[in-house]
């Protein structure tokens, strides 16, 4: 079984709809991240969480919100989706309690979101 | 702020050719540097890393050396295979809260 899972893997929705993307991990890591990937732009950080009560905005948080329901679960919501939020979304985890980890991150398989 | 610059792709090579993908960074102090690889339809996987100047990371025949003087971390492989076709991302981790900053990615296409 995969250590970092994302649901759904693909989603098509319409402008104005509320969408939730979910991420679960079995690695026992404390930190979780949401990125979006756009062609030619690499990965950009949306939100990150260092534990259940520590949630932080990344470089492109506008239009998104997150919830860390438990150490193993981190959800990303688009309250009112718009077409320029069409992208590939990745969840990642890391465990900075590991000596020498230097923030190595482990990625889920991604969710492809299309907003019409 | 921190930034990572990679050479634009796609890079198209024949099997067994030598590969170099350039990566330079901007950051204060001594960040940790990473190369991640994304195979078609998959998430990113860590390929190699280096955590201090002059360190060489290596994995699966790929190598990269952390050059503080030129702020570079170029990825090399002596003989590429078709199975190496993927998108390669250079990244750095810096600062107490250790978020990753990614380059834009370089697509590698290896032809038989």
pLDDT, tens digit, 9 for 90 and up, residues B16-64:
999 999 999 998 878 899 999 999 888 899 999 998 899 999 999 999 9
- For residue A101, pLDDT over 60 is answered with no
Residue B34: list chain A partners with CB under 8 A.
104
The answer to whether residue B69 neighbours chain A at the CB level (below 8 Å) is no
CB contact under 8 A, B104 and A108: no
Instruction: State the pLDDT at residue B100.
Output: 85
Whole-Å CA distances, A12 to A19, A75, A113, B8: 10, 18, 6, 30
CB contact under 8 A, B93 and A103: yes
- For residue A99, pLDDT over 70 is answered with no
The answer to whether residue A70 neighbours chain B at the CB level (below 8 Å) is no
Residue A94: list chain B partners with CB under 8 A.
98
CB contact under 8 A, B43 and A108: yes
The answer to whether residue A55 neighbours chain B at the CB level (below 8 Å) is no
A44 contacts A112 by C-beta, under 8 angstroms: no
In b/e form, how buried is each residue of B61-98, taking b as 16+ CB within 10 angstroms?
Answer: ebbbbbbeeebbbbbebeebeeebbbbbbbbbbbeeeb
CB contact under 8 A, B99 and A96: no
The answer to whether residue A94 neighbours chain B at the CB level (below 8 Å) is yes
């Amino acid at each position: 079984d995969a250590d970092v899972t994302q649901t759904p893997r693909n989603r098509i929705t319409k402008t104005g709809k509320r969408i939730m993307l979910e991420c679960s991990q079995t690695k026992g890591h404390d930190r979780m991240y949401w990125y979006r990937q756009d062609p030619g732009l690499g990965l950009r950080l949306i939100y990150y969480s260092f534990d259940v009560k520590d949630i932080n905005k990344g470089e492109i948080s506008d239009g998104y919100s997150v919830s860390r329901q438990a150490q193993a679960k981190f959800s990303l919501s688009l309250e009112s989706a718009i077409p320029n939020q069409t992208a590939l979304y990745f969840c990642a985890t890391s465990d900075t309690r590991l000596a020498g980890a230097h923030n190595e991150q482990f990625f889920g398989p991604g969710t492809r979101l299309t907003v019409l | 702020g921190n930034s990572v610059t990679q050479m634009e792709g796609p890079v198209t090579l024949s099997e067994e050719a030598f590969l170099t993908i350039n990566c330079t960074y901007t950051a204060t102090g001594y960040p940790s540097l990473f190369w991640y690889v994304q195979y078609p339809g998959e998430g990113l996987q860590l390929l190699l890393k280096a955590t201090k100047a002059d360190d060489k990371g290596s994995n699966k025949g790929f190598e990269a050396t952390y050059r503080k003087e030129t702020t570079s971390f170029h990825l090399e492989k002596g003989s590429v295979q078709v199975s190496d076709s993927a998108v390669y991302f250079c990244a750095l981790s810096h600062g107490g809260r250790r978020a990753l900053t990614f380059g834009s990615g370089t697509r590698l296409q290896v032809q038989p």
